[in-house]
A and B are shown apart, each in its own frame.
Chain A
C-alpha cells in the first residue's frame, strides 16, 4: 500500500512547498470587529444596551455578557489555519473542525463525537458560535477558559490524542508555521532560533474561536426594533418561549439564550448508555448529579441532535421533553435534584410547533469564516470529504 501512498505523499509535499510560501496572514479583522491600534475589537448593535448588574441576561434590548476580544488580525487568521489543520492531532486524522464543522453550526451532527480512535466519545460536541461570551466550557463546565478547554480535546487520547511535546515538535518542524507564527508574534520571533510556544498555539486558536459571532438572526432584527422580522407564528412561539408556562427563557435567557448556569433537568441518554453524572464530578457536589451547562440556543437549528449525548434528533423532540413531566426520564434508582423550572407545563402540540418555529429564527451564519483551502502543514483538511462550497479545486479561497 505504501507504494501507492508514497508518490501521493511526495506530490502532496511538492504542492505544500508552493502553497506554504503563498500563505500569508490576513491583516484585516473578521466581520464584526473593528481594527483599533492593531487589535480587533467586537462591535455589535447590542453594545447600545445595558444589562442589569452587567450580567448580560434580560430581554430584547439587553446588553451582552462579558466577552473576549482584542486579538490581532494575524493571530486570528493563524488560529483559523490551526483550527482546520489535522496536524494538531497525533496521527493527522482529526482537526478541531472535525467535531466543530462550520457547515454544521460548528458542531458535528453527531450525538456523540468521534475522535482519533474512531469510536464515539461520551458526549456531543457543543457549537462554537458565540463562545467569546461564555465563562465556562464543556457540558459539565469543568474548564473556565477556552485555553483550558482546548487542552481537553488536544491531549485526550480519545479525541486528538496528541501530547504537548509532540505538538511543539511538530509545529516547530514545519517552516510554514514558523513563518506564520512570526507574523502573528513579530516581536517574539525577532531573534533567530525563536521557537513556537504552546501558549502561542492556544492563543491563536482562542483568537479565532472568539470571532465566531452570531448576533444577526431574524430574532435580533426583532429585538433591535423591527417588528416585521418575525412572522405571527414565530412571535407566538417567542411568547410561549418567554412565558412562565414553558419558561424556556428563564434559563435560555436573551441575548445569548443561555444564562450560563448548570441545571439538572434529567434528560435521557441514548439507548444502552450509562447515566452521565455530569457536573456532580466537576463540582464534587452530589446535588449537581446529572447537571449540565445550559447551552445557548443560537444557531440551534443547525446543531441536531440535541442534549449532552444527543438523545433527541429534532428540535421538536427536544422541546417536547420539557412537557413530559418532572423527572419522567430519570433512570430508576437515581435521585436527582431536578431544576425547579422543570415542571408540567402541558404545552399543546401547536405550542411545541411554535417553539420550534421561534428557535429557528435564531439562525445566523452571516459571519461564518472561510475555510482555508490549503494548510500550512501541507495536509489536506479532513473535516469534509468533499470540497465545501466557496473553495475552488485549485485551492485559492473563492471569496469573489
Chain B
C-alpha cells in the first residue's frame, strides 16, 4: 500500500539556509557549510545547542566532525553520509528522517557545501583531474573504459544520451532550449540566482557555442561556489517553529533494476540507456506518498543538463517515454503551465549546488515564499541527480 513506509507527513523540514552563490566565494567549503547551517538553524527557530545530528554528501569535503567543530556543536550524537554525488540531497533528507524517527537524534542539519567553480570543477571531469599522470581505473570504478577515450566529463555522457533520445524519439534541440529558457525566466525573478540579471533568448541559446554535440553552452548548469542546508525534525516540533514546515510526505532512493558501479560514465553500460533510476524511484515515491504525477503542483527537478530534466519528465510519469521533448516545448513547465519547474532557476540558472538548492526551493514553494510562487502549491516534487542512482522527495504543506 505505502511500500513499507509508515512515516507519511510525520517528519519535516523546519528550516532552510543558504550562502550567496558565486563564481569565487573567497571562503572554504567549511566556512560556507557553517554559514548555511547557521542560517537554517535560525530559520527553524533553534539554537546551535539544539542540533544533535549532521548528514553530509559523499562528494563534500566537509566531514560531520568538521561541521561540528566549525559550529561548536556540543551535543552531536548522530552523523551520516549519503550519495552518490548529485543523487545525494533527497536521500540525505530521508536519512535524517529515519534517524529522527529511530530516536537517534532530534534536530538534524543536512548540508552541501562546495567551491564548485573556483575549486574542483566537477563539469571538467573530477576523475581525470584526480588521476593526473598515473594510470586510470581499477578498484571497481571502471574509469579505464572511458577516460582514455576522451570521455571524461558528465556533459559528454549526457550528450550521448541526448543524441540517442533524438534518434529514437525525434526529440529536437528546441525541446532542450525550452527547458533552458524556462529555468532562466525563473532565475530572472530570483535575486539570489547567479543569472538573475541575465535574460536568455532563443537566439542567445542558438548562438551559444557547442560544447558536446548536441548540447550547447546553455544546456549545461552553472558550476558554483556556495552552500545550502536544511534542518530536519519531527512535524510536531517543526510546527512550533517560526516558519511553516514542509512535511516529508515521502522519500525514496533507488538504483533501478540493473545497478551500475562507478559514478556516472558507467550508466552508459546499463541495459536501458534512456530510462534512468528515476523511473524506479518515482514508482516507490508515489506508492509511499499515496500520490501520483497528477497531484504534483510544482517540481524541482535536478538539472545538471537540460536533457537530465527531459529524461525525468518521462520517468516521473508527467508524459510517456519518448514524449519528453514535446512536453517540454508545450509550455507545461512554465509558471502558468501544468508542471511549473525549478522555480528558483535550478542548477541551470540559479547555481549548481549539486541538487541541494532544489530541496530549499521545494520548501519555499510549500511555505509560499518563492520568488516565483505557484499559487496554492501544496505538493512539491523534489528530485536529486542521475544517472548512477537517484533519490526524490514529496513535500507537502501542513
Partners in one complex: no
Give me the interface of A with B, judged by CB distance under 8 Å: none
